[in-house]
Structure 1
Amino acid sequence: MIKAIGDDGKEASHSIEKAIEYAISKKVSIINMSFGTFKKDDKIEKLIQLAIKKGITIVASTGDYGNNDILFPSSATGVVSVEAKK
């Protein structure tokens, strides 16, 4: 398991980028990204697309903020979006 987000729950783009790069280098088959943000990150988007091109499945949560918006990275092309309903 690769952890890219601190115990405080705050996302750090640089840490997420490094985690995706590391996962790609290890030739994993699935990357789970159980977080979401309203702000798209172009560097992370490029790494997600690279991972997908290398045959890695990316799974991400759509969001849990009580709205209907699909958050990033779940909104990225090719990402498997997962939503939980109560």
Structure 2
Amino acid sequence: MKLIVAVQEPVTDGLPDAEPSWRDLHAIELERPLIDAEMDLLDVQISLLDRPASELDQRRLRRAANKVLAARRTVANRLGTGDAA
């Protein structure tokens, strides 16, 4: 029987600290409203995959998209840059 062995070294082998730093956690916390808004938009989009959108569905989709845009603006202003996502 022939053994199959990886040719390359593992990318994550020997990392001294695999846990996120406090800076990483703080950055995630700053972007949390955007993450939540994007998840809401994704939920609406998934619900519309297998059926035509009614007027109420279109309104839900617009509101979710507007919520994402507002969250992106807030995160960008908070981070002090023009590009948040």
> Which bracket does the TM-score occupy, shorter chain normalised?
under 0.3
TM-score (normalised: structure 2) = 0.26
> Whose helix proportion is higher, 1 or 2?
2
Bigger Rg over Cα? 2
Higher relative contact order (CA 8 A, sep 6+): 2
